[in-house]
Structures are given as C-alpha cells and as structure tokens.
Amino acid sequence: MPDTTLPVRPVELPEGAVERYARHLSLPGIGLVGQQRLAGARVLCVGAGGLGSPVLQYLAAAGVGMLGVVDNDVVDLSNLQRQIIHPVAAVGTSKVHSAAEFITNLNPLVTVRTFDTRLTRDTIGAVLGALNPHIVVDGSDNFATRYLVADTCADRAIPLVWGSISRFSGQVSVFADGHTLRDLYPEPPAPGTVPTCAEGGVFGVLPGVVGTIMATEVIKLVTGTGTPLVGRLALWDGAAANMRTVRFEPQAASADLRHKNPQEQQEVCAPVPAVTPDGIRETPVTRWPELAGSGVRLVDVREPHEWAGGVLGDPLRLPLSTLKAGALGSLDDLPRDTPLAVYCAAGVRSRAAALLLDRAGFTDVVSLSGGINGWWLRR
C-alpha cells in the first residue's frame, strides 16, 4: 500500500519528556524520532464525548504536541457512564473545557486548543484554519457532522480517522489516499431509521474499545509504524468479542456526492459495493450480469420451491436454511477466495447468508441488494 506517513516535522522533546515517554523511546517503530514526530503533531478531535474521551486521553498520554477539541455540548449526568474524561464536578459545564482540564492535568507538555462551537459549513473552515491539523479524528454523534467532516477532509486531503458506535458494536476506518466515508456509505440514512444512543442505548465500555483503536491509528499515522486502516473497515462486536476487517475501494461517484447540494444528494446513486452496518459488502442486483461476466459466482440462497419461478444466470444453489444448519452444500469444495455474489428474493436473506459465508472463511462475498424481485421489477 502507499506510504501514509504524515509530513510531521520532529521537534525537540521538552525537559522531563525522556522519562515520561521512556517506554515509547525503547519501542521499535517509535523510538526517539517517532516521539519527536508525536510532539510535532497537531490533531483535531471532533467531539469530546464517548469516542473523544479515550482518543483525547491516549493521544495526550502519548505526547501529541497539540490537541484541538471541538464540541458545543455540555456534560450531562447520563454521559458519565461512558464519557470517562468528564468528572461529576463537570456536569452542566462545557465538554471542551472539561476535556482540556483533564488533558492538562494528565500531561502538561501537551498544548490544548478548544473550540466551543458546533461544526457547520460556516464554521468548519475557521476551526481547521486555526489549528491546521495534520490529522482529524471524528468522534461525533450525528450524521450531519460526520458527512461534513468527511467531505471537508477529503476535499482538503487531510487524513481522517473515523469511528462510530451503536449499542454493542463499533466501526473504525482511516480515510486517506483517495478513500472517503462515502465509499462505504454513499448517503446518510433516512432520518429516524437509525436509533440514537439515547434511543437504542450503548454499552458503556464500547467507546473505550473503539476510541482506543482510533487513537492507535492516529499514532501509527504520525510515527509511520504499522499498517493503518486505509481501505479497510474494522468492525468490533462487543457482545460476541469478535473483531474483523473488510476491505473497500474508492468509488468514482464519491467526489460527485461530496459536491452536490444537500437537497440533491438523495438523487445520486453511487456505484457501490458499499458496506452495511453489519460489515457486509452490498451492491445493486442490477449489476449481476457485469459481476457474472467477470467471473464472480452467483449464489441463490432462496428455498428450493422458489427456484421454479426462475433464477439469475447459472447460480450455485444453497438455501439459507441449509447454510444456517452449518452446511455449505455446493460451495463446500470451492476455494475460500472465490468471489461470490449472493442473492435472494428481496435482499434480506442474502445479507444474512453473506455474513454466514464470511464467517465460514469466504473472503470476497457481496450481497445483491433488491434481490431477484428487484431485477424483475427494474423497469
């Protein structure tokens, strides 16, 4: 993959830093130069809530030279179950000021810039201009901010470390080198279709797991160590204690979507595969002839009585009920890197089947949204 090391100028470490960062200085991949690069880095964290809490804590502890914090919310008592940067004494006060106080107490060698404002198209330019960050970390909790930050970072070629959480699960990726949020999710979900944390709840420790991964990606980018999550989406299922990653590629329509007016964006359909919230790659059923022509094997997961009504192409036939029982049927002898396109009647069972096939070891599975009904009704 391309070199994603950031152009951060190493700076001399201040007095007292050698002892504080001793474990980094002796760590291969970071060492003195890596620590000096951290000291010279400027990172903007969007949100000082659940994800922002561990991100800011660990980046401050790691010695990032300048941390910017943007949030216009105040600390609420219900936040304290997961937003561990804020103490009880901060309830009712500004989140950015509470976070800044914590950071300063943890590591006075770090400079903190606070922006007690809501990010909008009118304010984001001023915030970025004031900090000129090497990296932006998005821990926001609403889709308007997520897409605004992602689109702006893509246009300005600022690497973006992105994360989201819901109930027991979370996602993390790094958008750089042409990859953007819209490659995964071309459009925000319709209002009311995704529950908020207040509506659906959130496992208290989940932001700590996901936010720590986000902080890890920042440190990797700054120091040039390890392999960042560029072009990969990491998915953490806290209930099952399962972490996996799926790959994605830049989509040609992503730039067009970024530059459409908000009122027009719903009318544009990006050529996916996108990635669903459960980590399954999905593409419209109208693409099946193209996929079949490129060597992808079609898999029909409907039940046998449904096949009499017609199929797409010459599919391998594997009822979802058989797959749920633990059998792979006609797929049992296939190499696990065989590309598969799974379909059903309407696209619901194919997603469930794609997830089971992924867990069975198949590494290139896509679900055909809309199903065979969508193909028949395409006109």
Q: What are the tens digits of pLDDT across the range 5-21? A: 677 999 999 888 999 99
For residue 276, the model assigns a pLDDT of 52
For residue 47, the model assigns a pLDDT of 96
For residue 196, the model assigns a pLDDT of 67
pTM, to two decimals: 0.70
At 295, the pLDDT band (50, 70, 90 cuts) reads confident
Mean of pLDDT values over 72-81: 95
For residue 279, the model assigns a pLDDT of 66
- Among 235, 229, 232, smallest CA distance to 209 is for 235
Q: Round to the nearest angstrom and report the end-to-end CA distance of the chain.
A: 41
What is d(CA 135, CA 129) in angstroms, rounded to the nearest whole number? 13
Q: Does 45 participate in catalysis according to the annotation? A: no
For residue 305, the model assigns a pLDDT of 87
At 329, the pLDDT band (50, 70, 90 cuts) reads confident
For residue 21, the model assigns a pLDDT of 97
What is d(CA 154, CA 160) in angstroms, rounded to the nearest whole number? 8
Residue given tokens 């599975």 in the structure block? 365
Mean of pLDDT values over 275-285: 72
What is d(CA 138, CA 215) in angstroms, rounded to the nearest whole number? 11
What is d(CA 266, CA 57) in angstroms, rounded to the nearest whole number? 38
Q: Of 171-175, 284-288, 318-322, which range is least confident?
A: 284-288
What is d(CA 169, CA 276) in angstroms, rounded to the nearest whole number? 13
For residue 195, the model assigns a pLDDT of 65
DSSP 294-346: TTPEEEE-S-HHHHTT--SSS-EE--HHHHHTT--GGGTTS-TT--EEEE-SS
What is d(CA 60, CA 40) in angstroms, rounded to the nearest whole number? 13
Residue given tokens 């690497």 in the structure block? 159
Does domain 280-376 bear CATH number 3.40.250.10? yes
At 273, the pLDDT band (50, 70, 90 cuts) reads very low
Residue 251 pLDDT more than 90?
no
For residue 268, the model assigns a pLDDT of 33
Residue 155 to residues 35, 205, 281, Cα–Cα distance (Å): 29, 34, 25
Residue 267 pLDDT more than 80?
no
Mean of pLDDT values over 18-38: 96
Cα 153–Cα 155–Cα 157 angle in degrees, nearest 5: 60
More confident residue, 68 or 183: 68
Using a 10 angstrom Cβ sphere, with 0-12 exposed, 13-18 middle and 19 or more buried, the burial of residue 288 is buried
Mean of pLDDT values over 74-81: 94
Give the CATH class of 17-247. Answer: alpha beta
How do residues 312-328 score in pLDDT, each as one tens digit?
999 999 999 999 988 99
Give the domain ranges of the chain.
Answer: 17-247, 280-376
For residue 5, the model assigns a pLDDT of 62
- Among 112, 125, 187, smallest CA distance to 153 is for 125
**Strand, helix or coil for residue 180:** coil
Q: Does 197 participate in catalysis according to the annotation? A: yes
The catalytic residue among 45, 153, 269, 344 is 344
How many other CB atoms sit within 10 Å of the CB of residue 51?
33
For residue 265, the model assigns a pLDDT of 42
Residue 336 pLDDT more than 70?
yes
The whole-chain average pLDDT of the chain stands at 88
Q: Which of 98-102, 141-145, 189-193 has the highest mean pLDDT?
A: 98-102
The rounded percent of the chain whose pLDDT value lies above 90 is 64
